[in-house]
Chain A
């Protein structure tokens, strides 16, 4: 395709995209303002915007956000430290890798959120159950990535370092760690995202506080406009956190 034709296509695609998004917004507006869809089902977008401004200005979101982020931080701290440690220990032996890796991958393949009622039974409705479940679920991508990172370092690097007299610690610090780091960082990023999703999920399903709970609360109170505002807020927070961790991962990979 000629450069001019492809440029034209790109502009056209962009127009179609914007038209699509604009069309959806327009439909939304018309549905509530002109076509009489109940505001309890679909709130007027203008009202949603007003509610969002109000939520942000009044700082009403702060306690819920703080709870959610605290749960996330603690859960991720637990899963990342235990995941990397256990992953490193397993990676030291090919036999251990062959025994445990399929086991861990197998457990991770089922929706572990299924065990939420058990965690609620055990830890109650408070932050502890969210942290525990979040740590459990996010443990798996971290440990699997760590095993993959340390366990599959190209043999030739280990051989070369050993031939030059590297000690065990030198081998770890200057060969294994830098070789494994990109993979581990990816695993940590995935663990972080998964922890966030599981915490939002458990807050939605069984909780007394936090962003997920706030959305449910507003739904039950039929305050649909404000609920939409909180949903937008939560999605924005998730997107921001995703962006930040992706940046950190990319930096770590140099």
Chain B
């Protein structure tokens, strides 16, 4: 890939939590390398605990990896880059004490957007996600789906080149996920953003992504990268197509063994812990 086309360059990133021998020692990532092309939507998918969220945080500068480097637009990442990277978290990160539009404005204030521009940008962002009528509501008054829309609006209003989304629809029901996924695809076809999107859902990955990076079980590394060659905005009928099924099946095959490995590793740990407790 030509270097101007690379938005994020990840090289040999490894990360561990804690020291070897400690109870909470975990090797989350092992020697992960990847190039994220400018303007693409890349999905990270893998079994629980495979390190995909960790990698996302490393890319965004919220964590320093124990080894390896990440470069965004040529510069190495050493901390949060609020002007280049915006986040949408799975956990609800909207401030419950502020209204939806206040939340969006606060985000811009943190980033350093001049006061005069904030109101207009907030209005546009909320309109883009379909929440224009709920600007003065508090997060507690909204459904889960609407809260995540608001979180997305906040991220969009920051007008960064890169958007990192960590299972943003994870806490929502199937139907809401579908709708939000379709809306996201429409939204993205209008922007030039580079998006890295972590998900558990195979269907979601195939529907949204230009490329899907499949992770192995812990310690996570990228097993394979699959391309989804389909223009944005994705037609809802794409989901019923042969191509979709083929891709989804491929993901399933790749993931199935890794998921099994994760579950038996967890069972082994639980048994060991129970055995120790019984003693």
**A associates with B:** yes
CB-based contact A170/B110 at 8 Å: yes
Question: B89, B95, B112: which contacts A165 (Cβ < 8 A)?
Answer: B112
Given contacts A157-B95, A160-B93, contact A174 B82 (CB under 8 A): no
Question: B93, B98, B109: which contacts A170 (Cβ < 8 A)?
Answer: B109
- Interface readout for B105-137 with A: 1 if CB under 8 Å, 0 if not? 011011110000000000000000000000000
Question: Which 6 residue pairs are nearest across A and B when measured between Cβ atoms?
Answer: A165-B82, A160-B93, A166-B110, A164-B110, A178-B97, A156-B91
CB-based contact A164/B95 at 8 Å: no
Chain A residues closer than 8 Å to B98, beta-carbon distance: 178
Let me know if B87 is at the binding interface, CB within 8 A. yes
What residue in chain A is nearest B79 (Cβ atoms)? Answer: A162
CB-based contact A156/B93 at 8 Å: yes
The interface of chain B, by Cβ under 8 A from chain A, is 60, 62, 80, 82-83, 85-87, 89, 91-93, 95, 97-98, 106-107, 109-112, 158
- Interface readout for A197-228 with B: 1 if CB under 8 Å, 0 if not? 00000000000000000000000000000000
CB-based contact A178/B82 at 8 Å: no
CB-based contact B92/A164 at 8 Å: no
Give the interface residue-count category, chain A.
Answer: 10 to 19
Chain A residues closer than 8 Å to B86, beta-carbon distance: 163-164
Give the docked Cα–Cα distance between A254 and B95 (Å): 14
- Residue pairs across A and B with Cβ atoms less than 8 A apart, 11 shown, are A157-B95, A162-B62, A162-B80, A163-B60, A163-B62, A164-B86, A164-B110, A164-B158, A165-B110, A167-B110, A170-B110
Give the docked Cα–Cα distance between A162 and B80 (Å): 7
CB-based contact B95/A163 at 8 Å: no
Give the docked Cα–Cα distance between A161 and B98 (Å): 13
CB-based contact A163/B82 at 8 Å: yes
CB-based contact B111/A164 at 8 Å: yes
Give the docked Cα–Cα distance between A161 and B154 (Å): 11
Chain A residues closer than 8 Å to B60, beta-carbon distance: 163
What residue in chain B is nearest A171 (Cβ atoms)? Answer: B110
Chain B residues closer than 8 Å to A159, beta-carbon distance: 62, 89, 93
Give the docked Cα–Cα distance between A179 and B109 (Å): 18
Let me know if A31 is at the binding interface, CB within 8 A. no
Let me know if A175 is at the binding interface, CB within 8 A. yes
Give the docked Cα–Cα distance between A68 and B62 (Å): 54
Least CB distance, B113 to chain A, in whole angstroms? 10
Least CB distance, A158 to chain B, in whole angstroms? 10
